[in-house]
């Protein structure tokens, strides 16, 4: 049983909606954020990347978090951010590339996160976790959402989507890439109760993106509880809930800088001991994936390799006894190639490997290899949403950079304050 909570949202004023929302803190560097702030001093980046305006101060210094609090209060006092008058749910609709995604913004329970009703599939890093914990505590707000999935019994997404169709958005933001982000308010008491009832029948939620935000929110609750300053708002965190079959998942490609002393023929020969290696004649590099020649039915691992201007398909039968992690192509690549052949044991920290989200055209990956920056690229097929759920249901952890979820959410479309 999942509990969702309406909340009194803080959001940009009508005039500020085209100015305030921003990309999340963790997809933009301090230098990039500083450049954006120079062009638009009303962006939420001034709150979520305060280090951008304090380049000479250690990013973990107390003054960084004090700056975040100061800028947040300034945005409220200046009228850039305004409060709703009463609790509501919010609908978040994103239109990109002719496709529309609609999710429900609500608060969810820290207790349900701790009790694994809200399930995880990634590890968190302490340094990133501590940074967001301090930021949330200093600002007293959740400025970005945790991206959650639910298994739709067949009626929930249709209801949420129909609700959005029947309403006018009260806020819109169009990104530089042309994607349209719209926000709708659901404040009718009967509709709020209906949504609460619908989600009460759903057994679990699954974190797609935002493991650090979720863990940091739980940390803030723990700290405030220990200090005797917890409130109901601190017992919850803001999320966007999407049906698991209404999002897009792309592969996460790997580029390696060298072949550990092997030449291309030696590398292909070694690969041939581990996979069936089949040359691929023609690839459309304007696309973001390689269509497999092998049958895609879950029985075969499929990986594509770009090496010295040639493409190859690597295939291997899935072990029938494999668990949810071992069935992933990224697990096989990590164990059989990156670990065993290239000695890239820690993909999170090894400078010899880089990751590219599978939404970009293959031409971008090819360019990196052809320029000599990398020796080879491994193009991954996407993990299914059910695959992510299976991993989480079995309390397992996916290899790093296994999934690229779309749509990408903005920070600042609506904010949950911790009163």
DSSP 269-338: HHHHTTSEEEEE----TTSSSPPPSS--SSSEEEEEEEETTEEEEEEEEPPTT--TTTTSHHHHHIIIII
Q: Which of 205, 188, 209 is nearest to 357 (CA)?
A: 209
Q: Which of 118, 92, 89, 95 is nearest to 103 (CA)?
A: 92
> 315 with 275: CB under 8 angstroms?
yes
Q: Is 20 exposed, middle or buried (0-12, 13-18, 19+ CB in 10 A)?
A: buried
Residue 168 CB coordination number (10 Å): 8
Label residue 364 by pLDDT band (50, 70, 90).
Answer: very high
Cα–Cα distances in angstroms (integers) from residue 324 to residues 22, 196, 275, 298, 387, in the given order = 35, 32, 20, 11, 7
Average pLDDT in the 201-219 region?
A: 97
- Tokens coding 312: 């190859």
- Tokens coding 291: 């269509």
pLDDT of 275 above 90: yes
- Rounded to a whole number of angstroms, the distance between the first and last alpha carbons of the chain is 26
pLDDT score at 298: 84
pLDDT score at 320: 94
- If phi > 0 it is left, if psi is from -120 to 50 it is alpha, else beta; for residue 175 that is beta
Instruction: Give me the count of residues in the chain.
Output: 419
- Tokens coding 250: 């792309």
- Tokens coding 262: 């092997």
pLDDT score at 97: 84
pLDDT score at 168: 98
Every domain of the chain and the residues it spans: 4-248+406-417, 252-381
Query: What are the residues facing 5 on neighbouring strands?
Result: 107
pLDDT score at 239: 99
Handedness of CA 281, 282, 287, 292 (dihedral sign): negative
Q: What is the pLDDT of residues 283-331, one digit of tens each?
A: 999 999 999 998 888 899 999 999 999 999 999 999 999 999 999 999 9
pLDDT score at 252: 94
Q: What are phi and psi of 100, to 5 degrees?
A: -115, 135
pLDDT score at 369: 98
Q: What is the pLDDT of residues 160-181, one digit of tens each?
A: 999 999 999 999 999 988 999 9
pLDDT of 138 above 90: yes
Which CATH code fits 252-381?
A: 3.30.1760
Query: What are the residues facing 305 on neighbouring strands?
Result: 312, 378
> 375 with 257: CB under 8 angstroms?
yes
Average pLDDT in the 336-362 region?
A: 95
Average pLDDT in the 184-205 region?
A: 99
| DSSP letter string, 229-280 | ---GGGGEEEEEEEETTSSEEE-EEEEES--TT--HHHHHHHHHTTSEEEEE
- Tokens coding 18: 């085209």
Q: Kindly report whether the global pTM for this prediction surpasses the value 0.85.
A: yes
Percent of the chain with pLDDT over 90: 95
Residue 166 CB coordination number (10 Å): 8
How many helices and strands in the chain, by DSSP H and E? 12, 21
Cα–Cα distances in angstroms (integers) from residue 398 to residues 88, 120, 138, 165, 401, in the given order = 35, 10, 31, 36, 8
> 182 with 171: CB under 8 angstroms?
yes
Q: Which of 145, 171, 167 is nearest to 81 (CA)?
A: 171
């Amino acid at each position: 049983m999942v509990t969702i909570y309406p909340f009194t949202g803080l959001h940009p004023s009508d005039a500020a909606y085209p100015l305030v929302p921003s990309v999340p803190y963790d997809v933009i560097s301090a230098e990039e954020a500083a450049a954006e702030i120079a062009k638009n001093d009303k962006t939420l980046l001034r709150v979520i990347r305060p280090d951008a305006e304090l380049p000479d101060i250690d990013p973990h210094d107390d003054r960084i978090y004090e700056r975040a609090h100061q800028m947040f209060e300034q945005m409220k006092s200046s009228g850039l951010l305004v409060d709703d008058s009463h609790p509501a749910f919010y609908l978040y609709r994103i239109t990109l590339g002719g496709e529309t995604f609609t999710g429900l913004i609500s608060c969810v329970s820290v207790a349900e996160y701790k009790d694994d009703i809200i399930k995880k599939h990634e590890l968190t890093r302490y340094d990133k976790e501590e940074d967001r914990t301090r930021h949330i505590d200093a600002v007293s707000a959740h400025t970005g959402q945790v991206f959650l999935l639910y298994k739709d019994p067949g009626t929930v997404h249709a209801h949420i989507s129909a609700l959005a169709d029947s309403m006018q958005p009260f806020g819109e933001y169009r990104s530089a890439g042309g994607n349209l982000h719209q926000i709708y308010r659901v404040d009718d008491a009967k509709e709020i109760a209906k949504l609460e009832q619908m989600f009460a029948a759903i057994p679990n939620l699954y974190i797609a993106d935002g493991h650090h935000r979720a863990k940091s929110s739980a940390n803030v609750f723990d700290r405030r509880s220990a200090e005797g300053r917890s409130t109901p708002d601190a017992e919850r965190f803001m999320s966007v809930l999407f049906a698991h079959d209404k999002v897009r998942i792309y592969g996460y490609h790997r580029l390696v800088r060298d072949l550990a002393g092997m030449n291309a023929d030696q590398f292909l020969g070694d690969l041939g001991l581990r996979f069936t290696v089949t040359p691929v004649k023609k690839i459309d590099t304007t696309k973001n994936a390689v269509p497999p020649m092998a049958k895609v039915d879950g029985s075969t691992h499929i990986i594509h390799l770009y090496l010295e201007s040639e493409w190859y398909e690597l295939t291997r039968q899935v072990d029938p006894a494999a668990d949810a992690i071992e069935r992933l192509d990224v697990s096989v690549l990590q164990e059989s190639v990156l670990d065993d052949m290239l000695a890239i044991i820690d993909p999170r920290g090894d400078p010899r490997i880089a990751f590219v989200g599978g939404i970009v055209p293959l031409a971008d990956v090819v360019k990196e290899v052809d320029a000599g920056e990398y020796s080879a690229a491994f193009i991954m097929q996407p993990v299914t949403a059910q695959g992510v759920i299976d991993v989480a249901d079995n309390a397992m952890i996916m290899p790093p950079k296994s999934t690229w979820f779309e749509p990408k959410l903005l920070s600042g479309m609506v904010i949950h304050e911790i009163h």
